[in-house]
Amino acid sequence: MSGAFYEFFAGGGMARAGLGPGWTCLFANDFDPKKAASYEANWGASDLKVGDVADLTTKDLPGHADLVWGSFPCQDLSLAGAGAGLKGERSGTFWPFWKLVKALQANGRAPTMIVLENVCGALTSHGGKDFAAIGAALTSAGYRFGAVVIDAVHFLPQSRPRLFIVAVRADAPVPMGFEAGNPEGPWHSAALVEAQRNLSRRSRENWIWWRLPSPPFRNLSFIDILEENPVGVEWHSPEQTRKLLGMMSPVNAAKVREAMKANRRMVGAIYKRTRPNGEGRKIQRAEIRFDDIAGCLRTPAGGSSRQSIMVVDGRSIGSRLLSPREAARLMGLPEDYQLPRNYNEAYHLAGDGVAVPVVKFLASSLLEPLLAAYKAAAKKAA
């Protein structure tokens, strides 16, 4: 048994899926009733409380969690957002969440570890001030911390870089080999290195360059996750496919022509994006990639498009939306994971989650060794 955890901003429980059966979930919370319905369908409702994190108190949180996981909303920190940062309505929910963590500390139930997951835009939001504010909060609460950027593409055929801030109690020992003296690739990006430089002096003094093992070899390609008989979507008509082709720039249209010459079945991932046309106007373009990797799943809200696929086999070309099950596979969810029946709800659930194998990798490579070392030290001290 690894430990016990609370899962905040839980969505469909993808962090829980990644931590695995060795971890015990004591409490889960999400504001969205539709996501909470998926959580309940897959994990049950006994640990789940649906509602605003700001309305929670320590009385709602049972037991003593070794780990607090918080995948707080990214909308105000992402490049697609309005730039409100931690002052925004969505990403600003970090603060009531943090108030609750502080209350746990005052209650004598400070977690050994805290993991915060978000988009990489959290590093540069407000010129790095939002990242510095999170660092200051962790440091003032008596935690040492560091961060890593992990792209799900190391584990899954999806380009999905995400920031993971890992904090550990200052009195917790860090085993030899888990702390690097300097940033190390591929986990410490240039943006992360720059953000670390902009931290306060006190935060830098409590900073840890976490060392993770090399990423595993991924043997799964985009074509491997596709459904032969997709459920929840239909193939486009020839007219719809021609319209999609007509939305491509010369560069993207050339990619399709090259795929037609490949003498094998090729699958491309497509997103629709608004681009300048060179004449002072903006038009919608269909942009395709044939590198056996899907684009980063997004939530179909706020103007973001849903991902489509184009299957090219010689002169035969077909297209359709990515199916809900394919989106779930791109997140590493198991085949028996129950998805919402509504397409947009299922796609939103996947696009707003954390990649399961990434959580599993972080847990086995860092979280579990840290917790084991802390428990061993506490046992020895007793």
Burial 200-218 (b: 16+ CB within 10 A, else e): eeebeebbbbbbbeeeeee
In this structure, the answer to whether residues 50 and 126 fall within a common structural domain is yes
Q: For a pLDDT cut of 70, what percent of the chain falls above it?
A: 93
In this structure, the answer to whether residues 96 and 180 fall within a common structural domain is yes
**pLDDT on residue 92:** 66
pLDDT band at 275 (very low <50, low <70, confident <90, very high): confident
Region 97-122: what's the mean pLDDT? 96
In this structure, the answer to whether residues 195 and 279 fall within a common structural domain is no
**Domain assignment present for 344:** no
In this structure, the answer to whether residues 135 and 276 fall within a common structural domain is no
**Domain assignment present for 327:** no
**Domain assignment present for 345:** no
pLDDT band at 367 (very low <50, low <70, confident <90, very high): very high
In this structure, the answer to whether residues 114 and 206 fall within a common structural domain is yes
Region 144-164: what's the mean pLDDT? 97
pLDDT band at 189 (very low <50, low <70, confident <90, very high): very high
Instruction: Write down the H helix ranges in 331-381.
Output: 343-351, 356-362, 368-381
In this structure, the answer to whether residues 176 and 262 fall within a common structural domain is no
Region 152-164: what's the mean pLDDT? 97
Domain end among 301, 322, 343? 322
**Domain assignment present for 338:** no
Query: In this predicted model, which residue has the larger pLDDT, 82 or 272?
Result: 272
Instruction: Write down the H helix ranges in 211-292.
Output: 238-246, 250-260
In this structure, the answer to whether residues 58 and 157 fall within a common structural domain is yes
**Domain assignment present for 229:** no
**pLDDT on residue 89:** 54
In this predicted structure, which of 75-84, 153-162, 230-239, 274-283 has the lowest mean pLDDT? 75-84
pLDDT band at 126 (very low <50, low <70, confident <90, very high): confident
Region 90-104: what's the mean pLDDT? 87
Which amino acid is present at 67?
L
**Domain assignment present for 288:** yes
CA-CA distances (angstroms) from residue 369 to 212, 372, 375?
12, 5, 10
pLDDT band at 80 (very low <50, low <70, confident <90, very high): very low
Region 352-367: what's the mean pLDDT? 97
Q: Which domain holds residue 7?
A: 3-216+351-381
Domain end among 276, 302, 322? 322
CA distance 150 to 351: 16
**Domain assignment present for 23:** yes
In this predicted structure, which of 15-29, 86-100, 287-301, 341-355 has the lowest mean pLDDT? 86-100
In this structure, the answer to whether residues 40 and 67 fall within a common structural domain is yes
pLDDT band at 303 (very low <50, low <70, confident <90, very high): very low
In this structure, the answer to whether residues 40 and 146 fall within a common structural domain is yes
Q: Are 310 and 270 in contact (CB under 8 A)?
A: yes
In this structure, the answer to whether residues 309 and 212 fall within a common structural domain is no
Region 9-29: what's the mean pLDDT? 97
pLDDT surpasses 80 at 277: no
**pLDDT on residue 281:** 86
Average pLDDT over all residues of the chain: 93
Tokens of 160: 């999905």
Split into its structural domains, the chain has a count of 2
- The predicted-structure confidence for 219-268, as pLDDT tens digits, reads as follows 999 999 999 899 999 999 999 999 999 999 999 999 999 999 998 999 99
Tokens of 277: 């046309």
- The predicted-structure confidence for 304-321, as pLDDT tens digits, reads as follows 578 999 999 999 999 999
**Domain assignment present for 287:** yes
In this structure, the answer to whether residues 265 and 193 fall within a common structural domain is no
In this structure, the answer to whether residues 279 and 211 fall within a common structural domain is no
Q: Which CATH number fits the domain that encloses residue 37?
A: 3.40.50.150
Task: Assess whether the previous peptide bond of 157 is cis (omega < 30° from 0).
Answer: no
Q: What is the pTM of this model?
A: 0.95
